[in-house]
Amino acid sequence: MREAVRAKRDGFLRKIGRDPVVMGILNVTPDSFFDGGRFADPAAALTHAEKLVAAGCDIVDVGGESTRPGAAAVPTADELARVEPVLSVLAGRLHVPLSIDTSKAEIAACALRLGAIMVNDVWGLQRDARLADVVAAAEAIIVIMHNRASKDETIDILADIRSFFDRSLGLARAAGIPERHVILDPGIGFAKTSRQNREALARLAELKDYDLPIMVGVSRKAFLGSLTDGAEASLVGTLAANLAAVAAGASIFRVHDVAEHVAALKVFHTIRQP
Summarised one tens digit per residue, pLDDT across range 119-140 is 999 999 999 999 999 999 999 9
Active site residue 221: yes
Spell out where 79-155 has E strands: 98-101, 118-121, 141-145
> Which amino acid is residue 106, in one-letter code?
E
Q: Is the pLDDT of residue 217 over 60?
A: yes
Q: Which domains does the chain have, with CATH numbers?
A: 3-272 (3.20.20.20)
Please write the tens of the pLDDT for every residue from 35-80.
555 777 889 999 999 999 999 999 999 999 988 766 778 899 999 9
Write out the H or E segment, with its range, that includes residue 245: helix 235-248
Catalytic residue among 203, 221, 266, 272, which? 221
Active site residue 192: no
Catalytic residue among 9, 192, 220, 254, which? 254
Distance, in Å, from the CA atom of 114 to the CA atom of 124, rounded to the nearest integer, reads 22
pTM: predicted TM-score of the whole model, two decimal places = 0.94
